[in-house]
């Protein structure tokens, strides 16, 4: 496929993906509500990108999670694991009955993802800045072994405040890790409020570009754009970072763009409201 031929995606396909994203958001609300704690805003905001990756981009075999030709998705901002768990369930890595064990004792669904606990979870993360280093190490090994697998790494925007992230950008550039595609959830919120107030990140794209990486910006809720740009980043064969502009809490109006929903579970009334909204939105 040439890099400039944008793949056509049918309207039916888009509708199907939107339906899957809605289903994923419902699961996110249900499991965080059941757990009584967790991080809904980023999980909802990244639902479209996770659905696009797991249903359109990544190569994997749910029945054979360590398949040697698979693509890897590393989650660096581990706190949004509810959306990862939702999509891993929807693609068949583990049964739905386990979803409600999130954050409970003896569960494979840890509060932050743990490598080795749950099939499909490729890395351990939680403390920010670590997943991208792990992804870079894996990408380096695959590149030196001349293997074709792709590595994707999801990060948050607040995470860009960690120095380790910039150590890794230097490294990705030096070793030209063209098999690695990073996606930053640019939702402008972190625990205490707006990222630009807590510790300004702008101009984020220019900063990353100046580290020698190919950068893209996308609307993180537009499937046509998400899929086209991720595929372009993959086919361009350059180490790349995609800044995905998203709405934190997307799909649940009272959560949207509110930093207080970064790390708080909805109570039972809020859960009903949220689920009603998700079931009626088109």
Partner 1 sequence: MNQNIFTSETAATRDGFGVGLVEVAQQDGKVFALCADLTESMRLDKFEQLFPNRFVQMGVAEQNMIGVAAGLALAGKTPFATSFAVFSPGRTLDQIRVSIAYSNLNVKIVGGHAGLSTGPDGATHQALEDIALMRTLPNMTVICPSDAQQAREATIALANHQGPAYLRLSRPKYPILKHQKPFKIGEAEILKEGNDLTLISCGDAIHDCLLATTALEKMKISAQVINLHTIKPIDKKALVQAANKTKRLITVEDHQVAGGLGSAVAEVLLPEINQSVTNELKFLMIGVGDAFGESGEESELKKKYKVDVQTIVINAKNLLISY
Binding site for partner 1 (CB under 8 A): 114-116, 122-127, 129-142, 144-145, 163-164, 167-168, 170-171, 174
- Given a contact cutoff of 8 angstroms between Cβ atoms, the answer to whether 227 and 13 are in contact is no
CB 56 to partner 1: min, Å: 24
Q: How far apart are the first and last CA of the chain?
A: 33
- Given a contact cutoff of 8 angstroms between Cβ atoms, the answer to whether 262 and 195 are in contact is no
CB 171 to partner 1: min, Å: 6
- Of the pair 51, 138, the CB lying nearest partner 1 is at 138
CB 222 to partner 1: min, Å: 31
Q: Hey, what are 141's tokens?
A: 């090994």
- Of the pair 164, 205, the CB lying nearest partner 1 is at 164
- Given a contact cutoff of 8 angstroms between Cβ atoms, the answer to whether 262 and 235 are in contact is no
CB 8 to partner 1: min, Å: 35
- Of the pair 123, 215, the CB lying nearest partner 1 is at 123
Q: Distances in Å between the alpha carbon of 168 and those of 134, 162, 197, 230?
A: 9, 11, 25, 20
CB 134 to partner 1: min, Å: 4
Distance, in Å, from the CA atom of 212 to the CA atom of 225, rounded to the nearest integer, reads: 23
- Of the pair 137, 212, the CB lying nearest partner 1 is at 137
User: Which residue in 240, 52, 222, 229 sits closest to 136, CA to CA?
Assistant: 240
Residue linked to tokens 């993959």: 234
- Of the pair 8, 68, the CB lying nearest partner 1 is at 68
CB 151 to partner 1: min, Å: 9
Instruction: To the nearest 10°, report the CA torsion of 220, 85, 53, 91.
Output: -140
- Of the pair 134, 246, the CB lying nearest partner 1 is at 134
């Amino acid at each position: 496929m040439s890099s400039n031929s944008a793949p056509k995606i049918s309207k039916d396909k888009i509708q199907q993906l939107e339906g899957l994203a809605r289903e994923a958001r419902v699961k996110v609300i249900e499991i965080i509500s059941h757990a009584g704690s967790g991080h809904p805003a980023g999980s909802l905001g990244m639902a479209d990108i996770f659905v696009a990756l797991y249903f359109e981009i990544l190569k994997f075999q749910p029945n054979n999670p360590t398949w040697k030709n698979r693509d890897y998705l590393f989650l660096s901002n581990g706190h949004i694991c509810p959306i990862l768990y939702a999509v891993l369930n929807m693609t068949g890595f583990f049964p739905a009955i386990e979803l409600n064990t999130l954050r409970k004792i003896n569960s494979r669904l840890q509060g932050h993802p743990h490598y080795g606990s749950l099939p499909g979870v490729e890395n351990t993360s939680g403390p920010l800045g670590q997943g991208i280093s792990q992804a870079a190490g894996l990408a380096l090994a695959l590149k030196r072994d001349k293997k074709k697998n792709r590595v994707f790494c999801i990060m948050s925007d607040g995470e860009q405040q960690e120095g380790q992230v910039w150590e890794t950008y230097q490294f990705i550039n030096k070793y030209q890790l063209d098999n690695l595609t990073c996606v930053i959830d640019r939702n402008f919120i972190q625990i205490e409020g707006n990222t630009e107030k807590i510790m300004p990140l702008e101009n984020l794209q220019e900063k990353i570009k100046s580290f020698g990486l190919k950068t893209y910006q996308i609307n993180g809720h537009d499937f046509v754009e998400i899929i086209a740009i991720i595929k372009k980043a993959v086919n361009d064969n350059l180490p790349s970072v995609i800044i995905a502009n998203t709405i934190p809490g997307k799909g649940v109006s009272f959560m949207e763009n509110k930093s207080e929903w970064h790390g708080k579970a909805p109570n039972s009334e809020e859960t009903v409201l949220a689920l009603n909204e998700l079931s009626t939105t088109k």
